Amino acid sequence: MKTFRRELRSSLTHAEAGFWNLVKGSRFEGRKFRRQHGVGPYILDFYCPAERLAVELDGEVHFSDAAREYDRERRLFLEHFNILVLRFENRLVFEDPDWLLANIRHRFGWWRVIQEGPDGK
């Protein structure tokens, strides 16, 4: 799996490369993101360990019923490990990167709210 992840990192899609340029080197809100990060049997496009967030960039291959079912099972597996999966269409990386990053930023700290409860205790 490690070799496969390394191959994926060296052959990013156009959208993945664009997103990586936005977040690499902790340049997005000081958060470190990893590319092609493995969790169990799955490989996440991008993962921010400090925020327990996975960012998945979806092209047309994800729009079939079979792909939606696979993505649902994958999301449930990751949620079991307290990882929130955020999915975005590839085009948003280029058409509206500010909106994309604002949506990711908005989810920062999501797991703390669940841990502490709605009243912060």
CATH number at residue 27: 3.40.960.10
For residues 111 and 84, is the Cβ–Cβ distance under 8 A? yes
Q: What stretches of 1-121 show up as alpha helix (H) in DSSP?
A: 2-10, 14-23, 65-80, 91-95, 97-106, 110-116
What's residue 65's pLDDT? 81
70 is a domain residue? yes
In a domain, 98, yes or no: yes
Q: Is residue 121 part of a domain?
A: no
**Enclosing domain of residue 62:** 2-116
pTM of the model: 0.84
pLDDT tens track for 3-56: 645 555 566 889 999 999 999 999 999 999 999 999 999 999 999 999 999 999
> Contact 107/53 with Cβ under 8 angstroms?
yes
| Tally of structural domains, the chain | 1
